[in-house]
Amino acid sequence: MSDTLHFGLFLAGIFLLTGAMVFGVGALEYEVESLGTVEKIPEGTESLVSFGDLSARDQRTVERAIAGERLVFRDPTELPGPRKTKGTLAVERGGETYLLTRRIFFNWRTEFGASAVAMAVAGLLAVSEAVRRHHFPHRTVAWTRR
């Protein structure tokens, strides 16, 4: 194989890895889950809000999380609380303080996630094969023996 073809294979691998990152952004989702009630608000809690100060949509989300449901959203604006970011949220309701965790995660089960994983694997294989063929042509790949 010529140097041009090795470079083309390497470039195709880089494009696949870049595409995997782009598709990976589409697979990011946000989770809201209750950690239960607390006596004292722990350090690192982003905000403390009263249940009545939340919007009607945020109140429904908090009620479902307190009931034990794990909620997953694709849009960060659907997260409850004044700051629509990941982190811990304390909500005062009926004399109790509930702690909710809001986190971001990569959901590989979505179409975007599966595509990102497949593109990343193909990109890594293409880059590693291009490097192997160019710099180590005398070595075989791991799964074949001469």
> 32 with 87: CB under 8 angstroms?
no
* 73 & 131 share domain: no
Domain count for the chain: 2
Mean pLDDT by 10 residues, the chain (146 residues): 87 97 94 91 84 91 93 90 82 90 92 97 94 81 60
Q: Does some domain include residue 140?
A: no
* 95 & 45 share domain: yes
Which residue has tokens 């982190």?
Answer: 87
For the chain, the first-to-last Cα distance in angstroms comes to 19
Q: What is the DSSP secondary structure assignment for residue 1, as one 8-state letter?
A: -
What distance separates the 2 farthest-apart alpha carbons in the chain? Answer: 74
Domain that holds residue 10: 3-25+123-135
Q: What is the pLDDT of residue 1?
A: 61
Would you call 144 exposed, middle or buried from its count of C-beta atoms within 10 A (0-12, 13-18, 19+)?
Answer: exposed
Q: What is the pTM of this model?
A: 0.73
Rounded alpha-carbon distances, angstroms, from residue 77 to 31, 96, 129: 12, 26, 42
* 63 & 86 share domain: yes
Q: Does some domain include residue 32?
A: yes
Beta carbons within 10 angstroms of residue 55's beta carbon: 9
Q: Does some domain include residue 44?
A: yes
* Angstrom distance (rounded) from CA 52 to CA 59: 8
* 91 & 33 share domain: yes
Q: Say which amino acid occupies 136.
A: F
Q: What is the pLDDT of residue 145?
A: 58
